[in-house]
Structure 1
């Protein structure tokens, strides 16, 4: 169990080191850190500075409060907002301390008190910095402001910053996501899909954030439900945007990431394919052949579409096998892209000997083996390669010879020694290649306790 302490407890320990032990201020801080870390205390959210520095940070919030009360010159307010943002940008421990000092409420008060464009922009920037990785601060008042600032009468920059703020509020916080979604933000987001590219990118980011399932404090979230609703309301528009921006490196990447998130039902996959999405993806991959990031998202999107059996067939019929093989070969230095690409091939080859044959004819066995040789210590590569090999040869045994002639058995046996965590995946590939391998038979079917045996073949 992780132990936590308050900022006050840490500050008191530092003061005791100075007053009782006579340590210098710097040594007192270092000693306090060592004391707490040796006890297993998590200090990630603790400001590890002298207590006097902590007080100076608190003073920024106090001064902003006083400026609000006296309706001071906007320039002075902006200076104080910039000071708070500067402190927040230093790290999570600074954000936590400033948040505990009441900065969130004071900044919202500032938004209400000043009808000044520059003040508003600086308030939003400060909120983004304050609440990045600290979304717990959001309350109903904040949700109301987010929705109101996304109205038709708001300027573009305010909308853009508000969308960034909304996104930060959604990350790692299921309750915030539900509050913001229930405030009918989707109606605003649908309108913004036809806005300028700057607004469009932030809109797509909020759509993805609303569909996250990353809050470990919540057993069951609404990620799937949100994704389904977002897809129903925006999918046709996003597909049109794919065609419109297929030459725009940043936007095409954002659009494909968003599609991967919201394609949670088979009918959505079919809608993308029926609308000509495959032709666009193929053109994008050919245009950006050596772009690791874009190819990675294309691989992920194709894998998502392959979840629909009809789409899986149509992907290969659209001549994707040579395109995917070429992309893997050209990006073989980037591990995340290779992992996504191999996973894509595995998904397209699963229970599909016809698709496997198409890949085989592009010379992909040699590409796969070369990738494994280039990355001998990358577990994720060898796991994905094992899946791919298994799916390709399991219903096309004639392909095993080509893989074996390329030395894949030796590579897999070496992987078996290096990566015990993926033993099953590697052994399954060896088995379907026809190699001699021992597989555990966890259940013999004889009743009683589990027993372990060995077998050359396993279903």
Structure 2
């Protein structure tokens, strides 16, 4: 069994090589590693590239944390410039890797940062210190969310209660986002604190676009389902709570920020993520959401981000059959065709566009005919030709074709065949065996000659002998 050492032991030997033997940092690091490896010690748990102070031989991150510790304990109070400088150093070190953040966590850096933030809330007048301390706190939490606890959340609530500076508010929201990433228990803890109604929802009425974008991102992180340690999360429940409180307000923001494509895209992405139930899809439609999304597509025809998010939200809304019909009746078919035709070379947009068309045409002859008459067959075939190596685009295209023709074969089949769809689907079958069944189903509904596998054959029971 390999022997291991602590980070402090490694750092002490490294310091000794620098101070006692006058080695350069690179020489000392190489010698230290050589010494331990010669003793059969496994250094896999050691951060070997910590930034070292040449004069003291001590890791810079350790010196910074120790300075903050003495400051909050009152042993050596730092002035504003010194405190700003130490926070800058710590933020720089924390931004490097997750092991750096874990190392800082083990040295209780989070505790000292929270005390500095609390002190600034109660007594301070230095926004720069508050800003940098919060930056360090959410840098500590980035991909290291286990460090976030009830004390961190309590500090966040106090900040939201007291701060009006827009930059500080954005810092707080980013901290919340980092705490939610990959951590279901943090998401539940934040939602249980009920900051949604009291703190996050009111921020939607701010005029600052950075705040709006960060609130939207908080909503999306709160409804994520990315923690593999938890068998069953509460993503749907969180989405329901947020949608009930904020979905109408988000829809109205499409009017307020109609001239800001980046903000519009963030809002639409969030609305799509929240449209997880029939009633929420209907709520968006009832508040003129369909028209507002189409207006955004027409206003920003060259914005791939706007077009992509529009396809996503229309796909989400298409989960409601009533809203699906409303979308097409509102005249969306030619808008969707124009967007896909203009941006068909973009892989991500093409994938989302074909998925949207597939959803809107599913089990709806009227929608399928409207999409057909808007000229989508030729555009879809052209898109599949461009992305013949992309399996998801080929699969989504096969679904869209099948859904468009399955209930109106006599009106569409020949047109599709004239555009060479059979050759495209046959090529997709060969290039991507895992979507073979999807392509064959589309070919079958197109009237092409295709052999369908019989997935299961019944076996006659053996006659039971009476002997």
TM-score, reference length from structure 1: 0.87
Q: CA, structure 1 residues 430+9, in 2 after alignment: closer, same or farther (shift >3 Å)?
A: farther
Mapping of residues 333-348 of structure 1, within 5 Å: 333-348=345-360
* Per-residue Cα deviation, 1:324-382 (whole angstroms, up to 9, x for no partner): 00000111121111111110100000011111111111111111111111112111211
Partner of 1:238: 250
Partner of 2:21: none
Partner of 1:100: 106
* Per-residue Cα deviation, 1:93-117 (whole angstroms, up to 9, x for no partner): 3223222322211211222344232
- Would you say the 8 A contact 1:7–1:97 is kept in 2? no
Partner of 1:457: none
C-alpha distance in 2 between matches for 1:66 and 1:274: 59
- Would you say the 8 A contact 2:51–2:61 is kept in 1? no
Partner of 2:182: 172
* Cα drift, residue 62 of structure 1: 1.6
- Would you say the 8 A contact 2:261–2:306 is kept in 1? yes
Partner of 1:456: none
Partner of 1:59: 63
C-alpha distance in 1 between matches for 2:339 and 2:46: 45
C-alpha distance in 1 between matches for 2:195 and 2:460: 56
C-alpha distance in 2 between matches for 1:93 and 1:174: 22
* Cα drift, residue 126 of structure 1: 1.0
Q: What is the RMSD computed on CA atoms of the aligned residues?
A: 2.9
C-alpha distance in 1 between matches for 2:141 and 2:318: 37
Partner of 1:452: none
- Asked if 1:301 corresponds to 2:313, the answer is yes
Mapping of residues 101-140 of structure 1, within 5 Å: 101-114=107-120, 115=124, 116-140=126-150
Partner of 1:420: 433
Partner of 1:363: 375
Of 156, 160, 166, 2:166 maps to 156
Q: CA, structure 1 residues 104+393, in 2 after alignment: closer, same or farther (shift >3 Å)?
A: same
C-alpha distance in 1 between matches for 2:231 and 2:47: 31
C-alpha distance in 2 between matches for 1:30 and 1:441: 63
Of 229, 235, 245, 1:223 maps to 235
Of 394, 400, 404, 1:392 maps to 404
C-alpha distance in 2 between matches for 1:11 and 1:301: 53
Q: CA, structure 1 residues 47+444, in 2 after alignment: closer, same or farther (shift >3 Å)?
A: same
The number of aligned residues is 430
* Cα drift, residue 269 of structure 1: 0.8
- Would you say the 8 A contact 1:201–1:251 is kept in 2? yes
Partner of 2:207: 196
Higher mean C-alpha displacement, 313-322 vs 87-96: 87-96
Q: Secondary structure at the match of 1:217?
A: coil
Q: CA, structure 1 residues 407+183, in 2 after alignment: closer, same or farther (shift >3 Å)?
A: same
C-alpha distance in 1 between matches for 2:108 and 2:80: 20
Q: What runs of 5+ residues in structure 2 fail to find an aligned partner?
A: 18-25, 462-467
- Would you say the 8 A contact 1:29–1:49 is kept in 2? no
- Would you say the 8 A contact 1:270–1:311 is kept in 2? yes
- Would you say the 8 A contact 1:278–1:315 is kept in 2? yes
- Asked if 1:438 corresponds to 2:451, the answer is yes
* Cα drift, residue 11 of structure 1: 5.5
C-alpha distance in 1 between matches for 2:33 and 2:148: 34
Q: What runs of 5+ residues in structure 1 fail to find an aligned partner?
A: 449-459
C-alpha distance in 1 between matches for 2:212 and 2:46: 37
* Per-residue Cα deviation, 1:38-77 (whole angstroms, up to 9, x for no partner): x9x9x7x963426968833223212221232322212211
* Cα drift, residue 443 of structure 1: 2.0
C-alpha distance in 2 between matches for 1:220 and 1:207: 19
C-alpha distance in 2 between matches for 1:241 and 1:146: 26
Higher mean C-alpha displacement, 292-301 vs 195-204: 195-204
Partner of 2:47: 47
Partner of 1:454: none
- Asked if 1:146 corresponds to 2:156, the answer is yes
- Asked if 1:382 corresponds to 2:394, the answer is yes
TM-score, reference length from structure 2: 0.85
* Per-residue Cα deviation, 1:226-251 (whole angstroms, up to 9, x for no partner): 11011111112111111221221111
Q: Secondary structure at the match of 1:439?
A: coil
C-alpha distance in 1 between matches for 2:324 and 2:332: 11
C-alpha distance in 2 between matches for 1:313 and 1:141: 49
C-alpha distance in 2 between matches for 1:347 and 1:77: 56
Q: CA, structure 1 residues 256+196, in 2 after alignment: closer, same or farther (shift >3 Å)?
A: same
- Would you say the 8 A contact 2:358–2:404 is kept in 1? yes
Of 297, 309, 334, 1:322 maps to 334
- Would you say the 8 A contact 2:90–2:136 is kept in 1? yes
Runs of 4 or more consecutive aligned structure 1 residues displaced over 6 Å after TM superposition: 23-32
- Would you say the 8 A contact 1:11–1:51 is kept in 2? no
C-alpha distance in 2 between matches for 1:439 and 1:30: 63
Q: Secondary structure at the match of 1:446?
A: coil
- Would you say the 8 A contact 1:231–1:263 is kept in 2? yes
